[in-house]
Amino acid sequence: MPKRVSLFVTCVVDQLFPRAGMAMADVLERLGYQLDFPEAQTCCGQPAFNSGFWDQAREVAAHFLDVFEDAECIVVPSGSCTAMITHHFAGIMEADPALLARARRIESRVYEFSRFLTEVAGVEDVGARFPHTVTYHDSCHALRELKIKSGPRQLLSAVSGLTLKEMDAAEECCGFGGTFSVKFDEVSGAMARTKIESIHRTGAEYVVSIDSSCLMQLQGALSRAGSPVRALHLSEVLASR
């Protein structure tokens, strides 16, 4: 088991949701990990990759490799950024064998936060307390690319005082989709509204996810609808006491 963990907090958490990143750091430190935050980190390249700009995505991905090459274990508070590194770096680096080899070497050392907790640290109960009703949103890339489904639910269920209520459309997309959210704003907005109807049907006070970009979409739509429901990153729930 690694003692030392490097954080890749993602650009979205760094710039918009630092609380989720700090909460992740709190949880990991309480579990006894030494944390390292390589300051040169920025983004994984996903926005460019998903928009078809693979040259630019490759440049940014190469920067990520430069920064994290020597890290023993990298923990990321995002399913889709993790999947970008572990599932898509190789695809855009095929024409550059040296870069490809570096990408291949890093894949097995990158963990989405909840997966790190359940599968590497081997914990379910992190000692959190959160006396609220919560519903869990499966973010698409975590669910379908990383196959993360039960881990976050186990972590939530172990939180003292927390009631987990499943929504009927837990696996349905929130409608974010990166640049899709602005290129097809009306469709994206309609998808978000369908999703929040499902969230509301549970009666939960919070919707929790492991991806800040989904949470941005959901909180944006909840806030626009005047809903009292709040969107929270899993780390924020697990850091509560």
Which positions lie near another protein, rule CB under 8 A? 9, 11, 13-19, 21-22, 25, 37, 39-43, 45, 47-54, 56-57, 59-60, 63, 140-141, 143-145, 171-173, 175-192, 194, 216-217, 219-221, 223-224
Across the strands, what pairs with 98?
Answer: none
Task: Count other Cβ atoms within 10 Å, centred on residue 122.
Answer: 9
Which of 101/225 has CB closer to another protein?
A: 225
Q: Nearest approach, Cβ of 192 to another protein (angstroms)?
A: 6
Which of 159/217 has CB closer to another protein?
A: 217
**Which structure tokens are listed for 99?**
């870069």
Which of 142/159 has CB closer to another protein?
A: 142
Q: Nearest approach, Cβ of 225 to another protein (angstroms)?
A: 9
> What is the DSSP-derived secondary structure letter of residue 129?
B
236 phi and psi angles, rounded to 5 deg: -65, -35
H helix runs in 5-161, sequence order: 11-15, 18-30, 46-50, 54-68, 79-83, 89-92, 97-107, 113-115, 140, 150-157
Which of 77/159 has CB closer to another protein?
A: 77
Q: Nearest approach, Cβ of 203 to another protein (angstroms)?
A: 21
Q: Nearest approach, Cβ of 78 to another protein (angstroms)?
A: 13
Secondary structure (3-state) at 144: helix
